[in-house]
């Protein structure tokens, strides 16, 4: 029997299934994704055959109910629990901490399931801030794993060193109750925007506001007349707002003093570098360096998904550009998740 076939996983906070898709690509059977966002259900199940979507609020759902619902056993040496909780509260990106307060300790809710089942392996991926902030619950979580005899490896990983065409720094933790464990070493693959986007990669030139009604979703948000003019004045291939920031007709009021702060906003991506971190707002040029390297528009939904390493066949089902961008931006890049899965398999 192929040992890969013995591994199984449950994807907590699964969203649209980026982590699940990567683990499945590594040969791991994902039993279920658990998330309280019902809008992700159709996308998750459509693209991850064999895995069911459990719409559950992890703060109210009990380990005993999970045991009943999935008929899984405790202390399964081949079980992987992955807990990549929403992480806005610990992010260094400017977000509303008040809005995200209720999710700041979700890792401790995940901990309840780890304590109850004691799976063979545990995976956590989160923003770097969750490991450095004094009040973060991550320290308590790690101490609990150590108490139950887990070998642990954790650190900040830059996914651009693992073939992901995106600068995406994340806190990554792997823990094993049954073997030695280490974080995967960078694989030396360097991907850039040019290597995955552009006409030669199947992305035709489009204008701002284009709605792609096919499953490919080469859909892009509209731009106001002034924002379109701003992009027309922005240098191609990595340009920023310096060309027009001093023009009274086009300058951003919040930066009218000439401060060189947050210069990524309204900026273009570079062709020959990885993209910036794909966030849930990547469809908007005012939220980061999310403008196309040369076309006068933000990147499209499919371009964002491609930079996140979702296969082009991955179908996203949502009600708006914003809802689909949220699924894409919140995901663990499947290519990195596959590497994590292989690392676990090879540890046995």
Instruction: Give me the active site residues, please.
Output: 87
Report strand pairing: 29-35 vs 8-12.
Answer: parallel
Q: Work out the number of other CB atoms within 10 angstroms of the CB of residue 74.
A: 11
CA pair distance 16, 332, nearest whole angstrom? 10
Query: Which phi and psi angles does 191 have, rounded to 5°?
Result: -105, 145
Which residue, 170, 163, 169, 218, is CA-closest to 192?
163
CA dihedral 162, 194, 334, 170 (to 10 degrees): 50
Helix/strand/coil for 345: helix
Which residue, 78, 70, 65, 144, is CA-closest to 107?
144
CA pair distance 338, 322, nearest whole angstrom? 27
- Supply 287's token pair: 């939220």
Please, is 130 exposed, middle or buried when counting C-beta atoms within 10 Å of its C-beta (0-12, 13-18, 19+)?
A: buried
Please, is 263 exposed, middle or buried when counting C-beta atoms within 10 Å of its C-beta (0-12, 13-18, 19+)?
A: middle
């Amino acid at each position: 029997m192929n040992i890969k076939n013995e591994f199984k996983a449950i994807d907590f906070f699964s969203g649209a299934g980026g982590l699940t898709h990567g683990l499945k690509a590594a040969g791991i059977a994902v039993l279920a994704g658990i998330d309280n966002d019902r809008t992700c259900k159709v996308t998750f199940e459509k693209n991850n055959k064999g895995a069911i979507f459990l719409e559950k609020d992890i703060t109210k759902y009990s380990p005993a109910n999970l045991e009943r619902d999935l008929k899984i056993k405790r202390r399964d040496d081949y079980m992987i629990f992955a807990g990549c909780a929403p992480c806005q509260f610990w992010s260094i990106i400017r977000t509303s901490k008040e809005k995200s307060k209720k999710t700041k300790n979700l890792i401790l809710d995940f901990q309840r399931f780890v304590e109850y089942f004691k799976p063979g392996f545990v995976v956590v991926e989160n923003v770097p801030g969750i490991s450095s902030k004094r009040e973060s619950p991550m320290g308590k979580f790690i101490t609990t794993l150590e108490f139950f005899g887990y070998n642990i490896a954790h650190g900040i990983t830059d996914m651009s060193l693992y073939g992901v065409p995106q600068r995406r720094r994340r806190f990554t933790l792997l823990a094993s109750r049954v073997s030695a464990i280490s974080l995967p070493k960078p694989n030396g693959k360097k991907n850039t925007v040019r290597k995955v986007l552009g006409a030669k990669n199947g992305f035709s030139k489009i204008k701002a506001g284009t709605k792609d009604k096919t499953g490919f979703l080469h859909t892009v948000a509209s731009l106001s007349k002034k924002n379109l003019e701003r992009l027309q004045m922005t240098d191609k291939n990595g340009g920023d707002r310096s060309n027009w920031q001093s023009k009274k007709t086009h300058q951003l009021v919040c930066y009218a003093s000439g401060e060189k702060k947050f210069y990524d906003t309204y900026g273009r991506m570079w062709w020959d570098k990885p993209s910036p971190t794909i966030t849930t707002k990547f469809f908007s040029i005012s939220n980061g360096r999310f403008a196309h390297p040369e076309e006068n528009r933000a990147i499209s939904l499919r371009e964002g998904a491609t930079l996140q390493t979702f296969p082009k066949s991955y179908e996203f089902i949502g009600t708006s550009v914003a809802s689909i961008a949220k699924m894409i931006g919140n995901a663990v890049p499947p290519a990195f998740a596959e590497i994590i899965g292989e690392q676990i398999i090879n540890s046995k």
